[in-house]
Amino acid sequence: MKSTGKLVTALLLALPSALNAARASQAENDGSYWVFVQPGGFRMGAEPGPDVLKPGRLRSYDGPDWDESTVHDVRITQAFAIGLSRVTQKEYARFRPQHREYLLSRGLAWDADAPVTMVSWHEADAYCRWLSEREGKVIRLPTEAEWEFAARQAKRLGLVGMGDGIQEWCHDWWGPYRPEPETNPLGAGSGDVRVARGGGNGPERLETAEIEVDGVITAATRRVTPRITDRSGSVPDDRSANLSFRLVQGERPDGSFRPDPPPAEANTNVSQQAAPWERQRDPATPYFIGGVPFIRQPEDPLSLPYFGRHHVPSIVFCANGDLLATSFTAPDDGSRQMAIIFSRLRRGATAWSPPARFFIVPDRNNKGLLFNAGPGELHHYNMFKDNVQNAYSIAKRVSTDNGLTWTAARTVHPYPAKQSALTTFTGTPRFISEIHPVRLADGTLVIPSDAAGGNDGGTVLWRSRDEGESFAEMTRFGWNHAEFAKPGGKAGWIAGIHASFVELKDGRLLAIGRSNNIEGRMPMSVTADRGLTWTYRASPFPPILSGQRAVLVRLQEGPLLVLSYTDLNASYQKGLQQGIDVTDEAGRVSKGFGTFSALSFDEGETWGSYKIIPLDQQNPFDGERGGYLAFVQTPDGVIHFVTSRHYYSCNLAWLKAPAKVAARK
């Protein structure tokens, strides 16, 4: 700091009221000004309105979020100085000169006097330590309580930018508030995300977002107002175009961390004994259990949170024989208020545990996938959104104790440098996956991802050859786009979003997807060069649309399995459903409706054994009308899958057997 800066800081700490009145004459610390914050108390947080958990695609609620409660008393007993503005790009570049080139490489502008962005929490903390050593005093990130205490006095203190749409890293780990009074709180004792404040809700503005209703994408606009109490955050190594930081000068407060909440039922008494995986049933005898809810309404929805709906499930088996299932819960698919919740089905049990919070990046749209990387290792991949660039990063966590504990979340795939545009086929396809990962015969891990926005964007494949530590596109999004999804055409990526694929015995890949329909049927895409060139044809399956996702997998016994739906959701709503032909055990062909299965014993050339997956076995020709399907087969041969609402279990013998007649309606 310049000598005048040191003098000002000393006087400022000694004579706060006088210096606060004369801020205009303060000298700068590399462009930033300090202002003194005296000790005091305040009521931290805000109470959400009654509609905070109400689901709905066009919801107008913009009040406090669930994690801004419970309002509680906080006392700050130590004075501190805080930067009047954020650290600028010019200031940060003195610490890390290459940051200018990095910003430009990410398609962002360089403005020396603008707040620095694309800085991780670790890098912001390193800057503080560098400046502390250089200046000979403690300079650090503010605690969340210090930030809100100062922000509540922003106008009086002259603080700039504490609600202008750019978030600011805080020191704390993010975690729910507790109702008890706190003194100098330091946040949660541990966690996956660090708190960011002052921009999750941004300045007052009109916000327009795309929404999807019955397959039609439209734009919805609402007015959003700023809140000092709004909380956000991200994994510590995340770099975002709206993440910056400001400095605090002074020793870290002598406070305490919030106590950890008691473990959820899903994480109590988790066996660490490996399952023997002996076959519990005769594989030749048909077996089926269906229509079991796997996520139930929690006793306290606000504590999870649970928004009255859940969607995009994922399911995996553990080495101890348990099943884990995750789903996001949110008021709507495009919401920033979203959490990943999970439930556990213990080996031998018939009911899933109550839902528990699994992973959350507050104020970020995020989606999670589970994968059994074996042996004894589970992976969790979580996509979370940059609210400025409308792009997604991917974080990874690992569990080696049957999902009881997980490693810290790490970013393994950053936001793309430039956004893709479906109309011009430029840039990099986005990585936002809603379908299960696949392990190829050569060990490569592949995750399908929607290529671009809308129902006609298609699907790309991202591969990892280092067990999910990094990913690269193995398709060619945009190549030969004039022939994309045309019968017999050749292009560089899969037709249909939310595509599911399987590796064939000859090394080809076969995929089915939603939309981009061919001849009125679900599109089928095939590649013989590991994803570079795809050819397209009509599948025998009915098309699906909004609120539906199909599954294509290979069973342990060899045949291919498709799980999908007989009709579009809109067709059911309008009474225009067509169904599929199902043969019963008496040899009669009848119409069945809803979730269905189909088998192929010749590598996808022909399909048969069509069967409805019934919600109620008393009506074997009537299944669920929609939901996102997710699948896993355990080593004992049992097939497990979920829709967005229910869990089903069966074996291959049941899938092959014709429908019963006795209880038929």
pLDDT over 70 (residue 16):
no
Helix/strand/coil for 498: strand
Across the chain, how many H-helices and E-strands are there? 9, 42
**Amino acid residing at 576:** L
pLDDT score for 319: 97
Q: What is the pLDDT of residues 532-573, one digit of tens each?
A: 999 999 999 999 998 999 999 999 999 999 999 999 887 877
Mean pLDDT over 285-309 rounds to 93
pLDDT over 60 (residue 201):
no
pLDDT score for 33: 81
pLDDT score for 3: 38
pLDDT, averaged across the chain: 88
Taking only Cα atoms into account, the Rg of the chain, rounded to an integer number of angstroms, comes to 27
Mean pLDDT over 125-145 rounds to 97
pLDDT over 50 (residue 614):
yes
Multiple choice CATH, 291-415, 2.60.40.420, 2.120.10.10, 3.30.1050.10, 3.60.10.10: 2.120.10.10
pLDDT over 90 (residue 23):
no
With cut-offs at 50, 70 and 90, classify the pLDDT of residue 453. low
Structure tokens at 504: 């064939």
Provide φ and ψ at 67, rounded to 5°.
Answer: -85, 5
pLDDT score for 143: 98
pLDDT over 50 (residue 406):
yes
Domain boundaries, the chain: 3-249, 291-415
CATH annotation of 3-249? 3.90.1580.10
* % of the chain at pLDDT higher than 70: 88
Of 357, 411, 409, 366, the closest CA to residue 384 belongs to 366
Which residue has tokens 């080809």? 508
Mean pLDDT over 511-517 rounds to 96
Structure tokens at 258: 């919030």
On whether the CB atoms of residues 270 and 324 are closer than 8 A, the answer is: no
Give the lowest-confidence range in 7-16, 253-262, 367-376: 7-16
With cut-offs at 50, 70 and 90, classify the pLDDT of residue 387. confident
* % of the chain at pLDDT higher than 90: 72
On whether the CB atoms of residues 483 and 489 are closer than 8 A, the answer is: yes
Task: For residue 162, give the DSSP letter.
Answer: T
pLDDT over 70 (residue 424):
no
| Percent helix, strand and coil across the chain, each to the nearest 5 | 15, 35, 55
Give the lowest-confidence range in 101-110, 207-216, 456-465: 207-216
pLDDT over 80 (residue 472):
yes
pLDDT over 70 (residue 13):
no
Cα dihedral across residues 535, 539, 544, 550: positive or negative: negative
Q: Report strand pairing: 378-386 vs 608-612.
A: unpaired
Dihedral, 639, 396, 534, 430 alpha carbons, nearest 10: 130
pLDDT score for 617: 77
pLDDT over 90 (residue 419):
no
> What's the full length of the chain, in residues?
665
Tell which wins on pLDDT, 52 or 19: 52
With cut-offs at 50, 70 and 90, classify the pLDDT of residue 278. confident
Of 392, 394, 431, 386, the closest CA to residue 413 belongs to 394
Cα–Cα distances in angstroms (integers) from residue 303 to residues 65, 178, 343, 601, in the given order = 12, 11, 16, 48
Q: What is the pLDDT of residues 212-265, one digit of tens each?
A: 434 444 455 555 567 899 999 999 999 988 899 999 999 999 999 999 889 999
pLDDT score for 385: 86
Q: How far apart are CA 230 and CA 63, in angstroms?
A: 9
Tell which wins on pLDDT, 441 or 388: 441
Mean pLDDT over 61-86 rounds to 94
Extended strands (E) in 279-355: 288-293, 310-317, 323-329, 339-345
Q: How far apart are CA 320 and CA 268, in angstroms?
A: 14
Which residue has tokens 């399911």? 315
pLDDT score for 616: 82
Q: How far apart are CA 331 and CA 338, in angstroms?
A: 8
pTM: 0.90
Helix/strand/coil for 116: coil
Burial class (CB in 10 A: 0-12, 13-18, 19+), 11: middle
